[in-house]
A and B are shown apart, each in its own frame.
Chain A
Amino acid sequence: MPHPTLHHRLPLCQLAAGSVGRVCELKGDPQFCQRVREMGFGESARVTKVSGSGTILCSVNGNRIALSHGAAENILVEEIARR
């Protein structure tokens, strides 16, 4: 889904703590993508990175979700706000 974007895409694991991103693309294992989407992590969801460099913690729609590093690598976001 092409977005008219000014920002470049980066994996969720590289988003700085406190920054807000918008999910652009889910890569990797289709089964896993499915569940990530079903948990509200679909394309265009707003994600706030809370903490973590290995296992990461982020907040989507007000709930905190922990993701393995390998999973966060496969979620591409564009940064839309920095705290």
Chain B
Amino acid sequence: MALPSHISSSAANPSSARTPVYALVGNPNCGKSTLFNALTGLKQKVGNYPGVTVEKKVGTAYSQHGQPITVIDLPGAYSLAARSPDEAVTRDVLLGRRADTAQPDRILCIIDATNLERNLYLVHQILDLGRPVLLVVNMMDLAAAAGTTVDVARLEQELGIPVIACEAVNGKGLIELKLAMSRADLPLARHAWAIPAAIAPAVTELQASLIAHDRKAPLVARAEALLLLTDQDSVRVAGSTPLHARTGEILRTWQQRWEGEGTDWAGTLVNSRYDAIGRIAADVLLQTGETGPTASDRIDAVVTHPVWGWLVLGAVMTLLFLSIFTLAEYPMNVIDAQIAHLADWVKSALPPGDLRDLITSGAIGGVGGVIIFLPQILILFFFIGLLESTGYMARAAFIMDRLMARVGLNGKSFIPLLSSYACAIPGIMATRTIEDQKDRLVTILVAPLMSCSARLPVYLLMIAALVPGDRVPLFTKVGIMILMYALGTVGAFGFAWLFKRTLLKGAPPLMIMELPPYRLPRVKDVALHMLERGWLFLRRAGTIILGISIVLWFLSAYPKAPDGATDQQQLAQSFAGRAGHLLEPAIRPLGLDWQIGIGLITSFAAREVFVSTMAVVFNAEAKDDDTTPLRQAMLAAKWPDGRALFTPLVCFTLMIFYVFAMQCISTIAVVRRETNGWKWPLFQTAYMTGTAWILSFIVYQGGTALGF
């Protein structure tokens, strides 16, 4: 590869003793994480929507000669003037403001060849930082298909830095990239960008003050001076260390002067960068074919249509729930049979006693009750993977934007909410793409109302108990399921509306969001993501749920009742039973007894623990000889006066409770981290569980009054 041969800065080169550190930056959705995975062999999540990566991730790549190179994958950003927390992570790492991350020695910029000008804007800002930059032009194949090509040699000449054409998805250009990355010296950019005359004196003055008073390196000071002028919020730009008073004074003086003259300084700066980029693009972009409406345009005409768009969204959801019920049945029966087989084997191999009960009722019963839902979890994640990798996520956000505007948010908030159907934790992380702090907080507060995959086992168990008989019309089951998901979603919107009008007032934010081109889903990515989530589910079953089940078994087996007591009496006077009895007054108005109360207590750790708890609590009553399916054991459960415990109304009430209640310690922990304190997670737990109780009360009492 012909590289420009002008002077390179030796100071900026990584010393041979240290592993060079590269920061991987670029616009959202240009393939950073795909390239990161290709370089490091890691399995960072990738997807076809902006905002998949919201936190930095460090990995190690190896050069062609086996030397290690550290690579930091960063969230996508359109500009160094960050507008949202995820972009701020990128800015802070690049400017060396993160205490936990060393300032990268070199920057690996990745740009999308199909969208050269917009992508070069960030590159243009990064070249100001005066650090060696390697430029990767990704998606050359897609650009060719769209009828354009990028003259890489010419771009290299224009910018004065190494430029490598690449197709990260299929590994093309990786060897050239690794060779360039392991070079001992990288040239600094020949960065000919004239700051507009009206602004230049201010930049010089600010730069001098930043060097003298804020102790910044000269080039970083220049870049920060430019950022101070393009970002209205100077506090945010300065990061945690506030600006020196003198620097702030200079900034204000200039701003007042420009305001008086009517100069739009920020706009002038952006436009002059775009002018410079436009000249470069005119030289390096070659039109090779006709450009007309693309396939994506034609699909979007339907999918983003005000009427058809809703129908498509509805069809996708219905298909998802239909598959969860129909496709999962066979593998579920297989798993069920295997678990029963295992329990029977243990029973025949061990003499009767506490150990045998612990293994069969505690461990196998509890864990088995949960892992039977693995097929459904896999199907759910397969669908979510498809939505994420085809580019449909951003379209769903587009369709929802108007509805979201009614509740005071915008379509961007819908992506975290949609992710929360899988699990609230990645959903809450994804709120980092939301610009406004209040809107982000509202989205965090309502995200756990979206029914997550851990609720799926609870719903499925309750639906099985709710609709008696084996030949139940599929549509009844699917209908109840969709109703639960809809309830959670409506609840989330309702509370967002309420919070935006009371606690966190503010105008609905304006949305500007890029819709990625549609891509065929990559089977490997979807399968990998699905298996990873499936493994996570199994691991939880094997650790947390196994642990809780064993502890619960002890708590329900001790202290021992006198000989001759029934299983029911034993459970009632055990530790677990006493805890359930303590809770019973609070849940009795909801039609729930102390045995279900035990489940409500244990499932505060994680919702699916409810299922394993029911298995331990009710299978404890089953006779030794054979393993009763959980559903039948539950249906046999009675109140002391002989009424059935799990009436359809009670099952329905329980489902409503689980739609709204905050039963997840991990979510509380993540909200605490993302909001920097206990205030919001505690508030969230209180409002969600309070709502759950009130709605369950209304449903149960109303249902009873109506004679159900």
Contacts and interface: CB of A to CB of B under 8 A. Distances in A.
Interface of A: 26, 28-43, 50-55, 57, 59-71, 74
B405 A34 contact: no
Nearest to A53: B306
Contact of A55 (B267, B297, B398): B398
Interface residues of B, number: 44
Contacts of B266: 30, 34
A59 B411 CA distance: 18
Nearest to A60: B118
Interface string B226-268: 0000111100000000000000000000000000000000110
B384 to A, nearest CB: 21
A66 B115 contact: no
B544 to A, nearest CB: 40
Given A31-B232, A35-B78, A52-B304, A40 B117 contact: yes
A35 B267 CA distance: 10
Nearest to A31: B232
A60 B405 CA distance: 24
B512 A67 contact: yes
B514 A64 contact: yes
Given A51-B300, A51-B304, A34 B401 contact: no
Nearest to B516: A64
Contacts of A51: 300-301, 304-305
Contact of A66 (B117, B296, B401, B405): B401
Contacts of B233: 31
B515 A64 contact: yes
B114 interface: yes
Contacts of B394: 66
A37 B233 CA distance: 17
5 contacts: A31-B233, A38-B81, A50-B300, A68-B410, A68-B512
A76 B221 CA distance: 36
A56 to B, nearest CB: 10
Given A28-B510, A55-B511, A65-B513, 16 more contacts: A30-B266, A34-B230, A34-B266, A35-B79, A37-B271, A37-B274, A42-B274, A53-B306, A55-B402, A59-B297, A63-B514, A66-B398, A66-B512, A67-B510, A68-B509, A71-B511
A34 B267 contact: yes
B211 to A, nearest CB: 26
Contacts of B405: 68-70
Contacts of A35: 78-79, 83, 512
B508 interface: yes
Nearest to A67: B512
Contacts, number: 124
Nearest to A64: B515
B270 interface: yes
Nearest to B509: A68
Contacts of B401: 54-55, 66, 68
Which of B81, B512, B513 has the most chain A CB atoms closer than 10 A to its own CB? Answer: B512
Top-4 shortest CB links A-B: A55-B401, A71-B510, A68-B511, A64-B515
Nearest to B507: A70
B114 A62 contact: yes
B510 A29 contact: yes
Given A31-B232, A51-B301, A57-B398, A39 B514 contact: yes
Interface string B372-395: 000000000000000000000010
Given A29-B510, A50-B297, A50-B300, A57 B78 contact: no
Contacts of A57: 300, 304, 398, 515
A37 B510 contact: no
Contact of A61 (B118, B509, B512): B118
B225 to A, nearest CB: 16
Contacts of A59: 297
Given A38-B78, A64-B515, A70 B267 contact: no
Contacts of A60: 118
Contacts of B514: 39, 63-66
A42 B410 CA distance: 23
Contacts of A70: 405, 508, 510
Given A30-B232, A66-B411, A66-B515, A54 B306 contact: yes
Interface in B250-302: 266-267, 270-271, 274, 291, 296-297, 300-301
B335 interface: no
A57 B302 CA distance: 12
B658 interface: no
B267 A26 contact: yes
B421 interface: no
B464 to A, nearest CB: 41
A40 B275 CA distance: 11
Interface string B393-410: 010011001100100001
Interface string B292-323: 00001100110011100000000000000000
Which of B231, B301, B306, B511 has the most chain A CB atoms closer than 10 A to its own CB? Answer: B511
A32 B301 contact: no
A42 B511 contact: no
Interface in B9-42: none
Given A42-B274, A52-B304, A36 B512 contact: yes
A62 B232 CA distance: 29
Nearest to A63: B115
Contacts of B553: none
